[in-house]
Amino acid sequence: MKYTIKNARMLDDAIVDIEIANGVIANIGKEISAGEIVDAQKSLVIPGLVDLHTHLREPGREDSETVATGSAAAAKGGFTAISAMANTFPVADTAGVVEQVFRLGQEAGLCDVFPIGAVTAGLEGKKLAELGAMANSKAQVRIFSDDGKCVSDPLLMRRALEYVKTFNGIIAQHAQEPALTVGSQMNEGLVSSKLGLTGWPAVAEEAIIARDILLAEHVGSRLHICHLTTAGGVDLVRFAKSRGINVTAEVTPHHLLLTDELVSNYDPVFKVNPPLRTEKDVMALRKGLADGTIDIVGTDHAPHPTEDKDCEWQSAAFGMVGLETALSVVVKAMIETELMSWETLVERMSIAPAKIAGYAKHGQIVAKGSPANLAIIDTSATWIVDRNTLASKSKNTPFAGMTMPAQVRHTFLNGDLVLKNGQIVSKMNGGSN
């Protein structure tokens, strides 16, 4: 299928036409009119966003999300690559499960779905999962994570960091010292003290980050810190990078915008792990993302069915959906505040994550010959988040009712138009293949 994107705005503000053929950008220039025409109307064209932290729930919890519905949410959010976390039922700790998830992603065809493998068998933190088998499977897993749980045993963490070196793998750590967070419900601080909710102290995150950057240094391995949330954590990563330790770090959109004050009405839509922190933490995270201490934005898209949030706080599930709001939230937190440029946003949300994960066809600058994985964004649009119009099967967004900047208009996946004028192009209708 051939396309021409007319009147696309590049990051340098040049208005161009972009010809797409055979899955790549065939030409960039003026007055091109090959194949199906998509008029960008001077919207910004950027490489498709890449998420290294997505919960797709399939297999096992198809009531909250499937690979197909999560892929649709991703395409609507401008993502062309997402990374399915391993905490499914069964756990993605074997070649069989990761190949299944990978295949489901290919079948859905709306976004490249790269499975993340579990670090430990059954996420139990007792012994390593078959990391090599997952790496050598058709899914070619490179990121391993017990996300949802911390690999808290220091010796097991050391072994995992060492073991994945054979295939240039990376361990993505959910930094949460379990002994310091038994029964924890929210950030420990003034708000938790008033609400009588068990605290999740910042030190429980920072203690694991400190330990793991030293382990990574000792064994010379790659470490990725998932969803950093604390000012102290940012300082630790900054320290590690200054020492030349091979560590990368991620922040979620919601931790860039929301604080623990929102918990005050006990609405579980704000219940998430790691928890919303304080204003001071939010400011440190923004600064860290702007200066590159934090390498990437990861959504931690975590769908939950209605009944898991329509209850008392303590019984509610942790997590928020985020694929469809991620870009807008980052624009709101980072660009509208003039902390970051669009160019840096593209680096943090596309180029850097693709590089960390080794997703070769993603995160390439928009240029002739690059894979046609693209998002076209109306940067001047505003929209109101409506949980009923989300493509995700679950509706647990904390941003419902908020007015957001910037809207994804079109998404191209490997040369095919998968999102057109904000609508998913169904493969069944022959829109793309």
Which region among 15-23, 88-96, 139-147, 195-203 touches other proteins (by CB under 8 A)?
A: 195-203
Distance in Å, CB of 308 to other proteins, minimum: 10
**Residue-wise burial string across 129-162, b where 16 or more C-beta atoms lie within 10 A, e elsewhere:** bebbebbebebebbbbbbbbbbbbeeebbbbbbe
Q: In the set 48, 117, 201, 275, which binds other proteins (CB under 8 A)?
A: 201
- Cα 99 to Cα 86, 137, 139: the distances in Å are 12, 7, 5
Q: Identify residues 296-355 at the interface with other proteins (CB under 8 A).
A: 307, 310-315
Q: Does residue 198 contact residue 184 with C-beta atoms inside 8 Å? A: yes
What residues contact 112, with CB distance under 8 A and at least 6 apart?
80, 81, 82, 105, 359, 361, 362, 373, 413, 414
Q: Taking contact as CB under 8 A, which single stretch among the options 189-197, 225-233, 356-364, 411-419 is the one that binds other proteins? A: 189-197
Could you please report the per-residue DSSP string of 271-332? --SSPP--HHHHHHHHHHHHHTSS-EE---B----GGGTSS-GGGSPP-B--TTTHHHHHII
Which of 127, 138, 165, 194 touches other proteins by CB under 8 A?
194
Contact region with other proteins (CB under 8 A), list: 107-115, 197-205, 295-303, 392-400: 197-205
CA atoms within 13 A on the CB side of 237: 30
Distance of CA 11 to the CA centre of its chain: 22
Residue selected from 82, 191, 226, 317 as contacting other proteins according to rule CB under 8 A: 191
Q: Least separation, in Å, of the C-beta of 379 and other proteins?
A: 37
Contact at 8 Å (CB) between 95 and 129? Answer: no
Neighbours of 29 (CB within 10 A): 10
Per the CB < 8 A criterion, the answer to whether 375 and 363 are in contact is no
Q: Least separation, in Å, of the C-beta of 387 and other proteins?
A: 15
Contacts (CB under 8 A) with other proteins, residues 224-283:
265-267
Q: In the complex with other proteins, which residue's Cβ is closer, 206 or 300?
A: 206
Applying CB under 8 A, what is the total number of residues that bind other proteins?
Answer: 24
Within 8 A by CB and 6+ apart from 367, the residues are 25, 28
Of 81, 110, 197, 340, the residue at the interface with other proteins (CB under 8 A) is 197
Closer CB to other proteins, residue 107 or residue 267?
Answer: 267
| Nearest to other proteins of 314, 382 (CB atom) | 314
Binding part of the chain for other proteins, among 7-15, 29-37, 153-161, 183-191 by CB under 8 A, reads 183-191
Cα 41–chain centre separation: 28
300 is catalytic: yes
CB of 143 to other proteins, least distance (A): 34
Does 192 contact other proteins by CB under 8 A?
yes
Catalytic-role residue among 51, 146, 300, 308: 300
Q: Contact positions toward other proteins, by CB under 8 A?
A: 185, 188-199, 201, 265-267, 307, 310-315
Please list the active-site residues: 300
